[in-house]
Amino acid sequence: MTLIIQRLLLPLLLTLSLNIGAQGPAAPPPPELNVKGYLLIDFYSGRSLAEFNADERLEPASLTKIMTAYTVFRELASGRIKLSDPVMISENAWRTGGSKMFIEVGKQVVLEDLLKGMMIQSGNDASVALAEYVAGKVESFANLMNANAQRLGMTNSHFTNPNGLPDPELYTTARDIARVTRALIREFPQYYTWYSLPEFTYNGITQQNRNPLLKRDPTADGVKTGYTRAAGYCLVGSAKRGDMRLISVVMGAPSPKARAEASLALLNYGFRLYEADKLYPVTQPLVKLRVWAGEREEVAAVPQWDVVATIPRGQYGQLNAYVEKLPNIEAPLTRGDRLGDIVVRLGEEEILRVPLVAFEDLPKGGFWRQAKDSLLRLF
């Protein structure tokens, strides 16, 4: 069932009636970048705004740690581990080469510190310590990483370790890395803010955040650098200006300067040529939907998250939105249960789909209410 959203979208519908069919000028091509692959996406929809070799399998280097962080965050959300947990550091973690947090073998480190040491200082040692604590050994943790990758639709990725040190079976793509980064920001905003911390001190050693975007773009708040000789210089960036958030992925740049400049070029390209409009906030009920066999006949519904449409500048008049309602919604309902989708189109193209969920609990009705609704449904 399709419902046109009229109450909240009335100004937009009026604009449509005046401007439908109007097209803005063709967008200029994205910048030419000296990298192996790149991708720029809109955070809210996941749509690609610019790309090159985005599906080519490449070595991720320390971009791997985005998936490591996401996997640990999911364990935190499950309640199986806590930020305050003390983690005993093994000799295996202590001996891990490359960038370090400088943890010491045989000592306990609070899990939150290990996360920050990995996210801010890119500690390979911290990554291994986290993996061993969560799953017992690195190989078992890699299995969790791959299970999460499969769940997120990262079809061209395979992880063998939590830190990105070279391995012939470790690979991903710019598109897959953007996918896990988007999921991390959406699902765990409380932890994502750590990526913007300028420095972190552990064991008397202060190390600066390795992300150059934080100093060069005041709207940037993440995410992660990476480097090995085979992978080249990599950088996942994210910035938010107004209601628009973009995620850029640069892989295989020839130098640290090149990866920073490529990331800034992509982000500036997106912010210059696109605009974002918050159509419906997550806090405001959007429609009321018919429910069968409930204490009440209707339930208020809200988007699961803010509905923000990112579109080429000057094309607001091409937007249209409607609700696709699930058939035969039945009580009982719990706040947050999915009831359908909000679909946003730009002209004929679907650009955004956001789950529509129950704003409130709705218990099952009594015998007479259920009997009445059973008769009504027959007709």
Tokens of 30: 């994205």
pTM: 0.90
Q: Is the pLDDT of residue 25 over 80?
A: no
Residue 220 maps to a domain:
yes
C-alpha–C-alpha distance, residues 65 and 220, integer Å = 19
Q: 257, 276, 295 — which closes off a domain? A: 276
Residue located via tokens 């940037």: 220
Q: What is the pLDDT of residue 41?
A: 98
Helix (H) or strand (E) holding 215: helix 213-216
Q: Which of 203, 184, 205 is nearest to 194 (CA)?
A: 184
CATH number at residue 362: 2.60.410.10
Average pLDDT over residues 6-29: 40
* Rounded-to-integer distance, Cα 41 and Cα 66, Å: 17
- Return the exposure string of 8-19: e unless at least 16 CB atoms fall within 10 Å of the residue's CB, then b: bbeebeeebeee
Give domain status of residue 303, yes or no: yes
Q: Which residues pair with 324 in a beta bridge?
A: 2, 341
Over the stretch 214-225, which tens digit does the pLDDT of each residue have?
Answer: 999 999 999 999
Q: Are residue 152 and residue 301 in the same domain, yes or no? A: no
Please determine, for residue 377, whether its predicted confidence score (pLDDT) is greater than 80: no
Q: How many CA atoms lie within 13 A of 351 on its CB side?
A: 26
> What's the whole-number average pLDDT of the chain?
91
At position 12, the amino acid (one-letter code) is L
Mean pLDDT to the nearest integer, 97-112: 97
Specify whether the CB–CB gap between 57 and 172 falls below 8 A: yes
Report the distance separating Cα 50 and Cα 92, nearest Å. Answer: 41
Give me the pLDDT at residue 370, please: 61
pLDDT at 5 over 70: no
Q: What per-residue confidence (pLDDT) applies to 167?
A: 97
* Whether 363 and 293 share a structural domain: yes
Region 94-105: mean pLDDT is 96
CA 185/CA 142 separation, integer angstroms: 21
In the annotated binding site for substrate, the residues are 224
Whether 301 and 204 map to the same domain: the answer is: no
Query: Is residue 17 domain-shared with residue 78, that is, in the same domain?
Result: no
**Same domain for 79 and 6?**
no
Catalytic residue numbers?
62, 65, 122
Q: Are residues 173 and 294 in the same domain?
A: no
Domain that holds residue 258: 37-276
Give the pLDDT confidence score for residue 373 in this predicted structure.
58
Average pLDDT over residues 2-21: 35
What is d(CA 120, CA 320) in angstroms, rounded to the nearest whole number?
41
pLDDT, tens only, 326-363: 998 999 999 999 999 999 999 999 999 999 999 999 99
Inside any domain, residue 8: yes
pLDDT tens string 157-215: 999 999 999 999 999 999 999 999 999 999 999 999 999 999 999 999 999 999 999 99
Q: Are 152 and 62 in the same domain?
A: yes
Report helix angle 174-187 to 138-151, nearest 10.
90
State both tokens at 110: 């609070």
pLDDT score of 29? 87
Cα–Cα distance measured from residue 90 to residue 93, given in angstroms and rounded to the nearest whole number? 5
Q: Two tokens at 32?
A: 């030419």
Q: Give the model confidence (pLDDT) of 235-277 as tens digits.
A: 999 999 999 999 999 999 999 999 999 999 999 999 999 999 9
**Per the structure, how many domains does the chain have?**
2
- For the chain, what is the largest distance between any 2 Cα atoms, rounded to a whole number of angstroms? 74
Where is the binding site, in residues?
224
DSSP state of 367: H
Running DSSP on this structure, what letter comes out for residue 151? H
pLDDT given at position 329 = 93
Per-residue pLDDT tens over the stretch 44-70: 999 999 999 999 999 999 999 999 999
**Per-residue pLDDT at 10 exceeds 80:** no
**Is 30 contained in some domain?**
no
